[in-house]
């Protein structure tokens, strides 16, 4: 190298000398003219040890000029000076150290054991790696998005830290054929996860496991066997719309679209709807919504804003006997019920569209209709009692219902008229 490149003190040795001394000269106080710095070597370099084990280390000084002594040298570990009774002068140029019952390393880059000159300057160092071998990873769970990929998560072996950097590798292979493959995209859904983006076969089982390795050893999880079709999940239903049902103050209608990615296969999709009042954290869940893409929520509070979400489970896809995995909830959609004086108890099931003679919401709806009729039509004497009479009559004469449409007990046809109270 051209001498002009350097400052005043040029390093002379340029032939390739033995590697270790060259490194030390390069790193640790390369002698600059007039400074007469000492160099030293610590042994062992970068040892790996089990927690609780002991270590014997030495710091050997080479002086420039020669004749440097081990007098005045001292040790620090992670910046803290070690008690002198742990050190011993072995010979004129070597200081020894005896450490016992080592604790786990403070940082993954290793504990810094340093040999200092009398004036505190760093002469040499060694990184200690103290820890435990990894434990068997557990709780592997996997899911496939739309049968295209596979994401797996696992938990590192239980009992806390190994204190050493532990590398996890997710492996998989077809159960009855082929080589081991290694997953390559890590940390996709948390620190212990991996994503296999493609080239996965359906209708045939895979074996999946996780290998954990660190400086002290390795461990392998139990093998999980699965068929991609048994762990399918999908996107949340798109286009969730929530709207009022006419003027009904206690109902909202929810509509959605079947997730498009699986639309050709979702013969038995299940859905779940959850809804809550705007300023509450309690969700009500409507379960077991099978194969529909709409639902009517009833028993809601009038004049209230509701948030609604829907999710999908691709149940029994391609004839799989297992339930799939629920998708994420759709983005919350909000809607408000119309204002009114009445309120009712909570729902829990979708209201049927047709209006069978069930209790609660339909009766309420009917009451509202009758009330409206009284105001706007010439049916001043309509009442709920009349309706109940009609229902009772309907049940008794169900055999003749088809013949006698619209005929009331009093024998009149058409809409109700006349005194009914």
Partner 1 sequence: SSAAPISPAETISQAYSLALYMQKNTSMLLQTYLQYQGSPFSDPGFSAPELQLSSLPPATAFFKTWRALDDGERLSLAQGAFLALTQHLQLVKDDQSDLNPGSPILLAQLGTARLRAQGLLGNMAAIMTALGLPMPPEEDTLGLVAFGASAFERKCRGYVVTREYGHWTDRAVRDLALLKAKYPA
Residues of the shown chain interacting with partner 1 in the complex, contacts defined by CB under 8 A = 1, 4-9, 11, 16, 19-20, 22-30, 32, 37, 42, 45-46, 76, 78-80, 106-114, 121-122, 124-127, 165
**Cβ-based nearer residue to partner 1, 43 or 141:** 43
**Cβ-based nearer residue to partner 1, 9 or 305:** 9
**Cβ-based nearer residue to partner 1, 65 or 79:** 79
Shortest approach of partner 1 to residue 289 CB, angstroms?
Answer: 43
DSSP state of 198: S
**Cβ-based nearer residue to partner 1, 137 or 316:** 137
Show the CA angle centred on residue 306, arms to residues 305 and 309, nearest 5°.
Answer: 150
- Annotate 364-407 with DSSP letters as a single string: HHHHHHHHHHHHHSS-TT--HHHHHHHHHHHHHTGGGTTTSTT-
Show the CA angle centred on residue 51, arms to residues 50 and 54, nearest 5°.
Answer: 75
**Cβ-based nearer residue to partner 1, 5 or 321:** 5
**Cβ-based nearer residue to partner 1, 118 or 342:** 118
How far are the Cα atoms of 58, 79, 96, 236, 352 from residue 88, in angstroms, in the given order? 9, 20, 5, 69, 89
Shortest approach of partner 1 to residue 167 CB, angstroms?
Answer: 8
Shortest approach of partner 1 to residue 5 CB, angstroms?
Answer: 5
Shortest approach of partner 1 to residue 23 CB, angstroms?
Answer: 6
Shortest approach of partner 1 to residue 21 CB, angstroms?
Answer: 12
Shortest approach of partner 1 to residue 134 CB, angstroms?
Answer: 15
Beta strand 55-62 with 74-77: parallel, antiparallel or unpaired?
A: unpaired
First and final C-alpha spacing in the chain: 115
**Cβ-based nearer residue to partner 1, 1 or 281:** 1
CB 259 within 8 A of CB 238: yes
Q: How far apart are CA 155 and CA 85, in angstroms?
A: 43
Tokens of 418: 């006349």
State yes or no: cis peptide before 65, omega within 30 of 0.
yes
In 3D space, the residue among 292, 306, 362 whose CA is nearest the CA of residue 334 turns out to be: 306
Shortest approach of partner 1 to residue 112 CB, angstroms?
Answer: 6
């Amino acid at each position: 190298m051209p001498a002009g490149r350097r400052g005043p003190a040029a390093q002379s040795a340029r032939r390739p000398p033995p590697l270790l001394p060259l490194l030390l000269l390069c790193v640790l106080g390369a002698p600059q003219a007039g400074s007469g710095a000492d160099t030293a070597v610590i042994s062992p370099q970068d040892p790996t040890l089990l927690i609780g084990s002991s270590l014997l280390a030495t710091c050997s000084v080479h002086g420039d000029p020669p004749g440097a002594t081990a007098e005045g040298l001292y040790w620090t570990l992670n910046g803290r000076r070690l008690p002198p009774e742990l050190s011993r002068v072995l010979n004129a140029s070597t200081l020894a150290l005896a450490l016992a019952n080592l604790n786990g390393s403070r940082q993954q880059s290793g504990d810094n054991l340093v040999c200092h000159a009398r004036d505190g300057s760093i002469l040499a160092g060694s990184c200690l790696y103290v820890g435990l071998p990894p434990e068997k990873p557990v709780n592997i769970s996997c899911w496939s998005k739309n049968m295209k990929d596979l994401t797996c998560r696992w938990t590192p072996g239980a009992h806390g830290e190994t204190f050493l950097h532990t590398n996890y590798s997710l492996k998989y292979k077809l159960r009855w054929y082929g080589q081991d493959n290694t997953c390559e995209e890590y940390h996709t859904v948390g620190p212990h996860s991996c994503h296999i983006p493609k080239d996965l076969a359906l209708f045939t089982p895979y074996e999946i496991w996780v290998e954990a390795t660190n400086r002290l050893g390795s461990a392998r999880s139990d093998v999980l066997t699965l068929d991609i079709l048994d762990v399918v999940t999908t996107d949340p239903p798109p286009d969730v719309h929530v709207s009022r049902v006419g003027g009904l103050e206690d109902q909202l209608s929810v509509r959605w679209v079947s997730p498009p990615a699986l639309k050709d296969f979702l013969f038995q999709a299940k859905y779940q709807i959850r809804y809550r009042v705007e300023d509450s954290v309690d969700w009500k869940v409507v379960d077991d919504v099978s194969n529909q893409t709409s639902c009517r929520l009833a028993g809601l509070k009038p004049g209230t804003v509701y948030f609604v979400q829907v999710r999908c489970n691709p149940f029994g896809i391609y004839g799989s006997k297992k339930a799939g995995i629920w998708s994420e909830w759709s983005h919350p959609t909000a809607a408000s019920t119309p204002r009114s004086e009445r309120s009712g108890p909570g729902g829990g099931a979708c209201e049927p569209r047709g209006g069978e003679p069930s209790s609660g919401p339909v009766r309420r709806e009917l009451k509202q209709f009758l009330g409206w009729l009284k105001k706007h039509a010439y049916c001043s004497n309509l009442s709920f009692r009349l309706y109940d009479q009609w229902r009772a009559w309907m049940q008794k004469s169900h055999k003749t219902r088809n013949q006698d449409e619209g005929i009331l007990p009093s024998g009149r046809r058409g809409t109700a008229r006349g005194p009914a109270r």
